[in-house]
Amino acid sequence: MGADPDESGRFDLPTPEGTCYFASTDEAAARERVGTQLRKTAGRESVLASVLAAKDGPVVVTGVVLGAVKAANLPVRKADRWVNRSLWVGTGIYRISQGWAALWRAAGFEGLLYEPRFTGGARVRALALFGAAGRPKPALPVEHSKPIEDVLTAHRVQVVRPPESAPTLPSTVPPPPL
């Protein structure tokens, strides 16, 4: 987690601990990654291609094998009244949800099972897994890996690219009539 909680993840723990996020479907993982950058116009969802790039290369959605995890299960009736409603109505103040994560970690939970923000459905879940900051060691066994663009387009999200070049008129040519 960085200096500003709102510039890090929803359930990020402070260093030297960390939080790794997983989703129960490739679509949910892709949607969580692009998040608020998804746009909907005339019933069609889109995202800018620039959102799908990272500093170290293209973003991929990777399916991994996880073992059993002792996780707080937030999508249950008892949590619905307070925790889930607070999350859904916009605890966009991540300092609050990160504080909850720290309390659940201190209570002995290894993670949180919750409903993702950008993918609905009764069977879709996300997992915030707590542990040491950085990549898991040893690496988790990989089942598959797909470019995020392929996952999004398979779920009818259009990836928008800027035009490669715009036509220019020489200064000696008058503009076309209107």
In a domain, 174, yes or no: no
In a domain, 129, yes or no: yes
In a domain, 167, yes or no: no
Count of structural domains within the chain? 1
**pLDDT per residue over 97-108, tens digit each?**
888 899 999 999
Q: Is 85 helix (H, G, I), strand (E, B) or coil?
A: helix
In a domain, 148, yes or no: yes
- pTM across the whole model: 0.77
pLDDT at 178: 75
Evaluate if residue 54 carries a pLDDT over 70. Answer: yes
Residue count of the chain: 178
Contact 20, 10 (CB under 8 A): no
State the average pLDDT for the chain.
84
The whole domain housing 111 covers 5-160
In a domain, 85, yes or no: yes
On the 0-12 / 13-18 / 19+ scale of CB atoms within 10 A, 141 is exposed
CA separation for the pair 132, 144 (Å, rounded): 24
In a domain, 36, yes or no: yes
- DSSP lists the bridge partners of residue 72 as 112
Q: Distances from the Cα of 91 to the Cαs of 10, 56, 147, 175, in angstroms?
A: 9, 30, 30, 52
**pLDDT per residue over 74-122, tens digit each?**
776 666 555 655 565 555 577 888 888 999 999 999 999 988 888 877 7
In a domain, 169, yes or no: no
In a domain, 27, yes or no: yes
Stretch 160-169: mean pLDDT = 75
| Residue written as token pair 């299960």 | 73
